[in-house]
Amino acid sequence: MNAAVPEPGFDTQERQEDSGLIVDVDGFEGPLDLLLTLARNQKVDLRTISILALVEQYLAFINAARQMQLDLAADYLVMAAWLAYLKSRLLLPEPPGGPEPSAEDMAARLTLQLQRLELIRGAADRLGALGKLGVNFFFRPEHESPKPEPVIVQTDTLYDLLRAYGAYRGKRNPPRLSLVKARVFAIEDARHRLERMLGLLIDWNRLDAILPVLAPEPGVRRSAIASMLTASLEMARDGDLEIEQGGAFAPVFIRKRLIPRGEPAEQGEAIP
Amino acid sequence: MTNPDVPEGSVVDIEAHTRNLRIVEAVLFMANEPVDQAVLAAKLPPDAAVEDLLAELSAHYQGRGFHLIRVAGKWAFRTAPDMAFALSEQAKEQRRLSRAAMETLAIIAYHQPVTRAEIEDLRGVSVSKGTLDVLLELGWIKMRGRRKVPGRPVTYGTTEAFLLHFGLDALTDLPGLDDMKAAGLLEQGSVGPALPRLPGDELTATEEPLDGPVEPDEAEDDSLSMKRDAAE
Amino acid sequence: MTNPDVPEGSVVDIEAHTRNLRIVEAVLFMANEPVDQAVLAAKLPPDAAVEDLLAELSAHYQGRGFHLIRVAGKWAFRTAPDMAFALSEQAKEQRRLSRAAMETLAIIAYHQPVTRAEIEDLRGVSVSKGTLDVLLELGWIKMRGRRKVPGRPVTYGTTEAFLLHFGLDALTDLPGLDDMKAAGLLEQGSVGPALPRLPGDELTATEEPLDGPVEPDEAEDDSLSMKRDAAE
């Protein structure tokens, strides 16, 4: 197809004029249109159609049609062949019991077809006569809807409120650091106690049996044990005390060192 | 003062009614496309009788410069047909369909769902692929499904755009439908007798889904037109 | 039947008048932008009184879902302003108070009734008028009365909307300092003045009624915040 050929499906001014020239003032287009008109002119009775007149009109039409659109002409040629065949069937005696439909049937079918086509043409005309959008009536042109103000949803939660208040209170009243004095039994106290008790420690004594009387808190007792042990070790180092422990986690025993300073301690003496 | 359009009711009822009418007016006026009744209902209080409101408004705009009409099962304001002369600059350049295309469209409209072969049978000539393409491109027809016959040919039907263009509310409003029925022509042959009210997507008993793309040449593949194409 | 809008005239006059009204309606209906009176006049017969037609239509559409209004000397149909809600889905926008506003709100909640100067004193920074305005606009705080001190400053308190938003049944449901400490919202060891007893809506002994409107600038006119604002 080249650009000069009109787009199929649409009527162009040129083509309408052309078809006007070729066909008829009514502007029919298809082969059945033509046949319909011809058949009407011949009072529909195809038996009485003059083949000669038919063929002449076809040839005249096809000749003209061929110049503008081969496609159209081809349709008409098929139709012409079919019509000629039908006409011959009508004129010739019927072949006996053949599988082909009878000529009368074919004619009846053709008549029915013509009626249907006429109805369709009428329907197309009525459809075309309806008011058309963009010609006879219009919807409003595209337009923008005014945007309503958005609904504002506050997402603040009670938690946010309380956290804000907590932060405010914390900012305005910062927590004061007050150091609570630790309740401990100091090493110096332990040493002092041991030194005072030294005269009483002639025999082996369990270290935990000579703890001072203390506040009931458990931490204080632990600190007393630790301090007493450390003080005993110090005094043992100084040669004032002897320390014995039977094994890991066994009770620790202490006693006053009987041997004067500088001499090695007795070995192997049994723990009572 | 009483409003004759409103049934006897309290002042509150009448106020609510007026407000509902105004909502429908505003929504339809600002809509860029015909509006479904359900969409209108969603904008209205749950007890609003949308149908009645639309009927009342439709009557109100009768005889004015634009009308409230029902088209393709939806509602829209549309200029009165006799006002077209004043709106000439709005008119888009319209190409007239050829006789063949118009007949093909009419067959599809009145006989849908219909296959290409059935259209050809009715018209008595082959339907060029171009004609169907033009109608498909205009958005007035669509492929609906496939006929449950050997070869599974594609069935065609009209679209909502078709109804909008011709200002039809439903397919049953097609002009001369009764004549066609009276002539028994809608029941002819394999052509589908059941004309749906709207070009819905529901397939008829004789159709099945398209399932998968339609080959570009498929509409062309009946032997008759193939032969003719070859002869060109 | 006579049309009350039209001056006494022949049937022909009335018909022409109706037709002219319809033309104006149709043209304005199709216009995307406001239409000049001259443009309308060009669509009408030369003897048509465009001004009168527009006035009549404008009156007709008063109180309907869309109005005929004059904008910038031109004419256009516009949806009624109160119909905006129906026209498109209202967007939801989530917002949160600024840190400063939340702190101010918290202080008002826990220390009400409280004046602006007292809030500033508690926070140690000036409270911008905008912050209080935001809270007033949200409806979370209100002016309760005036403090019985020189200058009679306005006292603020929280509202029912405040309780509703934060899911509180009553102000007394606001957690106390110990609860806040237990919840980790307040540092252990942070002490400060005990929380004041929260009042109901009745004015406290230190308040008196607002009696009369509050000057818009009143919240702004204490010299302290003026100085601080200037310093900022």
Cβ distance C90 to A151 less than 8 Å, yes or no, reads yes
Query: Pick the residue with more confidence: B230 or A126?
Result: A126
Q: Quick check: C180 and A166 CB within 8 A? A: yes
C122 three-state secondary structure: helix
What confidence score (pLDDT) does residue A90 get?
Answer: 65
Q: What is the mean pLDDT of residues A152-164?
A: 87
pLDDT band at C52 (very low <50, low <70, confident <90, very high): very high
Is A169 close to C192, i.e. CB distance below 8 A? yes
B97-150: pLDDT as tens digits: 887 888 899 989 988 888 998 888 777 667 777 889 999 999 999 998 898 889
| Pick among A116, A132, A135 to test the B interface (most B CBs inside 10 A) | A116
Q: ipTM of this predicted complex? A: 0.63
Contact B25 C64 (CB under 8 A): yes
Q: Residue A161: its chain C contacts at CB < 8 A?
A: 102, 105-106, 109, 166
Chain A partners of C190 at a C-beta cutoff of 8 Å? 169-170, 173-175
Rounded average pLDDT over B2-22: 72
Residue B50 banded pLDDT, cuts 50, 70, 90: very high
Each domain of chain B, given as residue ranges in start order, spans 11-87, 99-231
Q: Is the pLDDT of residue C57 over 90?
A: yes
Closest partner residue to B123 (CB to CB) among A32, A115, A146 is A32
Per-residue pLDDT averaged across A7-34, rounded? Answer: 42
User: Which pLDDT tens digit goes with each residue over A227-236?
Assistant: 889 999 998 8
Calpha distance B96→A245 (Å, rounded): 120
Same fold, B11-87 and B99-231: yes
A180, A244, A246, A253 from A249: Cα distances, Å: 32, 12, 8, 12
Model confidence pLDDT, tens digit, residues C77-129:
988 888 877 776 667 788 899 999 999 999 999 888 899 999 998 888 888 88
Instruction: Give the contacts of B60 (CB within 8 A, at least 6 positions apart).
Output: B68
Closest by Cα among C12, C39, C227, C224 to C118 = C224
Q: Would you state the pLDDT for residue A170?
A: 79
What is the identity of the amino acid at A113?
A: Q
Q: C29 and B86: CB-CB below 8 Å?
A: no
Taking the CB of residue B36, how many other CB atoms lie within 10 A of it? 14
Of B228 and B38, the structure prediction assigns the larger pLDDT to B38
pTM for the model stands at: 0.57
* pLDDT value for C21: 94
Q: Which range among A199-208, B157-166, C66-75, C86-95 shows the weakest confidence by mean pLDDT? A: C86-95
Alpha-carbon distance of A177 to A164, in angstroms, equals 23
B11-87 to CATH, choices 1.10.10.10, 1.20.58.1880, 1.10.1240.10, 3.40.980.10? 1.10.10.10
B65 vs C23: CB contact, 8 Å cut-off?
Answer: yes
Query: Which residue, chain included where needed, has tokens 């049996």?
Result: A209
Phi first, then psi, for residue B194 (nearest 5°) are: -85, 105
Measured between beta carbons, which residues in chain A are less than 8 angstroms from residue B100? 9, 29-30
Q: What is the pLDDT of residue C213?
A: 72
The pLDDT value recorded for residue B89 is 80
pLDDT value at residue A111: 65
- pLDDT tens, position by position, A50-61: 555 656 666 676
Tell me: pLDDT of A28 over 80: no
Taking alpha carbons only, the member of A185, A184, A183, A194 closest to residue A234 is A194
Structure-block tokens of residue A115: 């009626």
Contact B64 C24 (CB under 8 A): no
Residues of A within 8 A of B101 (CB-CB) are 8-10
Could you tell me the CA-to-CA distances from A132 to A249, B66, B83, C201 in Å, in that order? 108, 15, 13, 68
pLDDT confidence tier of residue C185, bands split at 50, 70 and 90: confident
Yes or no: is domain C99-231 CATH 1.10.10.10?
yes
- Average the pLDDT over C55-60 and give the result: 94
Band of pLDDT at residue B225, cut at 50, 70 and 90:
very low
Q: Please state the rounded mean pLDDT for residues A212-237.
A: 83
Contacts of B176 in chain A (CB under 8 A): 122-123, 126
**CB distance from C96 to chain A under 8 Å?**
yes
pLDDT band at B40 (very low <50, low <70, confident <90, very high): very high
Beta carbons of B82 and B113 less than 8 angstroms apart:
no
ω before B113 within 30° of 0 (cis)?
yes
Question: How far is the alpha carbon of B110 from chain A, nearest alpha carbon, in Å?
Answer: 8
> Which residues in chain B touch residue C22, judged by CB atoms under 8 angstroms apart?
63-65, 80, 83
